[in-house]
Chain A
Amino acid sequence: MVHDNNLCIGCQACNVACRSENKIPDSVYRLQVWVKQEEYPNGSLGYEYHRQSCVHCENTPCVSVCPTKASHVNEDGIVLVDNDLCVGCLYCVAACPYQARYVHPVTKAPDKCTFCHESRLSRGEEPACVTVCPTEALVFGDLLDPKSKINKVLSERVTYRQKERLGTKPKMYIVPNHKGGINS
């Protein structure tokens, strides 16, 4: 997935669509957009939009530490939790450098963004956050298909990934704000 900071307006429609699609309990979030005020060197002001959610790493700290393989990566490269195997040690919650996981208040197992894998993706639709985004700041698709829309976007826009120094290789690409510096 691609999140374009220049198109995002911080409206939280993605957050709300995610909650409604995935029936997220009131106290927790799979997805939020954190809006941060920035001051540029010439004194003008602007906003930075951070998508706070699972970045679906290729080298997954959460999956590596899980003692029962409840945390796993499926064949599409999506990071998921198998509740039947989870004992609730919370090692994955602690090990995630992106704070993408929370304890589900009902199942007591860690829960997280699944790219709507269990619902919309299986019906051939895009994740709820992507569909609802009014500015098309989110682009979703198959990274392995050179002809996919996401690979077109990745070839045309400058992108970076969060905390790249950790070697996690997220599959969440950020198009940085065209103004100011990048805080990766």
Chain B
Amino acid sequence: MEQYNTVVWHWPIAVYLFLAGLSAGAIISAIVVKWMKGNDVSPWDGIIKAGAILAPVTIGAGLCLLIFDLTRPLMFWKLLIHYNFGSVMTIGVLALFAYMPVSILFLLGVFKKELAVDGPFKFLAPIADLALNYGKALEAITLVLAVGVGAYTGFLLSAMNSYPLLNTPVLPALFLASGVSAGISANLVVGLLFFTHSTKDANVSYLHGLDVKVIFAELFFIFILFVGMMYQGGATAHAGAAALGTGGLSTLLWVGVIGLGLLLPIGLNFALPHGVKHSHAFVIFNALIVLVGVLALRYYMLYAGQTFVG
């Protein structure tokens, strides 16, 4: 009977978790690059432009998906006026409430010329100026909120003690790390494809190098997750073992998440000669496989988490 199926949330939620992480990661890495010496003045680096566009667009798309996945989508506005501060979902709604405007402000500041000076949004020029004049403060606030958005999706799932694979304290850290990795990768792809002339090679190598370090962290978090389940014993250890070795989902974990998304980028980074490694084509290819890996991770965690209940 369908009502006793433990899988309650389906693929749109996995895509939303991916997009929310990507959005947070994109703006975090754009701000990190912007704060580096020489990057904090216009004309902005392509990476910063990419992050400024990606952050509001991906979170916007993710939220639309989320609303249409509700069983009563026309009632979604009740989420905005009724709060339960003990619920991670309410905390997420409030974080997104603040995150949406600051990410749009960041976009306006970075694209002031295109949008508010030469573009169709001249009436927004004072707001763009505000975003530029208080840039540092705005970015600091955005950074904190982005970390909140990146981590809350992990808390959202880990708050449920009905699912042993999800009910683990390492999940928010894993989701934040993989979100940052996805954000870096998406910034690299968009920066190198659409803002080729303004994207500095130094920033590309910096972010690419940072991504490899984040990927090592993700591997370690996944290791901690399963070792932790084994040590808890009983039904939790059973669920962990099943999640590692049963059916198509475990194949997705080993091949998609760990093989393609984490080990291949690390392997290529160490195996390939310097010249190839720093070519734009390779960086874009590498970023795309990382993105596929992060989407696979979200899909795996959501479905395996709800499937293997011990």
Main secondary structure on B side of the interface with A: loop
Task: Please state if A64 and B87 are interface contacts (CB–CB under 8 Å).
Answer: yes
Task: Please state if B72 and A67 are interface contacts (CB–CB under 8 Å).
Answer: no
The residue of chain B having its C-beta at the shortest distance from the C-beta of A93 within the complex is: B8
Contacts of A93 in B (CB 8 A): 8
CB within 8 Å for A97 and B89 given contacts A90-B8, A90-B71: no
Q: CB of A35 within 8 A of chain B?
A: no
What is the CA–CA distance of A95 and B87 in the complex, to the nearest angstrom? 11
Contact bitstring A67-98, B, C-beta under 8 A = 1, else 0: 11110000000000000011111110111110
Of B70, B163, B306, which is in contact with the most chain A CB atoms at under 10 Å from its CB? B70
Task: Please state if A88 and B160 are interface contacts (CB–CB under 8 Å).
Answer: no
Task: Please state if A88 and B82 are interface contacts (CB–CB under 8 Å).
Answer: no
Task: Please state if B89 and A91 are interface contacts (CB–CB under 8 Å).
Answer: yes
Q: CB of A61 within 8 A of chain B?
A: yes
Main secondary structure on A side of the interface with B: loop
Q: CB of B197 within 8 A of chain A?
A: no
Q: Choose from A67, A96, A97, A109 the contact partner of B84 (Cβ within 8 Å).
A: A67
What is the CA–CA distance of A65 and B157 in the complex, to the nearest angstrom? 10
Task: Please state if B87 and A94 are interface contacts (CB–CB under 8 Å).
Answer: no
Task: Please state if B82 and A68 are interface contacts (CB–CB under 8 Å).
Answer: yes
CB within 8 Å for A87 and B75 given contacts A94-B162, A95-B160, A99-B4: yes
What is the CA–CA distance of A68 and B162 in the complex, to the nearest angstrom? 21
Q: CB of B119 within 8 A of chain A?
A: no
CB within 8 Å for A65 and B160 given contacts A88-B72, A90-B9: yes
Q: CB of B1 within 8 A of chain A?
A: yes
What is the CA–CA distance of A5 and B86 in the complex, to the nearest angstrom? 36
CB within 8 Å for A67 and B8 given contacts A29-B1, A88-B71, A94-B162: no
CB within 8 Å for A66 and B306 given contacts A61-B161, A108-B72: no
Contacts of A166 in B (CB 8 A): 161
Contacts of A102 in B (CB 8 A): 3
Contacts of B32 in A (CB 8 A): none
Write the nearest CB–CB distance from B82 to chain A, whole angstroms. 4
CB within 8 Å for A95 and B162 given contacts A28-B3, A87-B78, A88-B75: yes
Contacts of A27 in B (CB 8 A): 2-3
What is the CA–CA distance of A118 and B159 in the complex, to the nearest angstrom? 31
Task: Please state if A97 and B72 are interface contacts (CB–CB under 8 Å).
Answer: no
Task: Please state if B72 and A86 are interface contacts (CB–CB under 8 Å).
Answer: yes
Given contact pairs A61-B161, A64-B84, A67-B83, a sample of 18 additional A-B residue pairs in the complex whose CB atoms are under 8 Å apart: A29-B1, A64-B86, A67-B82, A67-B87, A67-B89, A67-B90, A68-B84, A69-B84, A85-B82, A86-B75, A87-B70, A90-B71, A91-B89, A95-B160, A103-B71, A108-B72, A109-B72, A166-B161
A-B contact pairs, 14 of them (CB 8 A): A64-B87, A65-B160, A67-B83, A67-B87, A85-B78, A86-B75, A86-B78, A87-B72, A87-B75, A88-B71, A90-B9, A97-B162, A108-B71, A109-B71
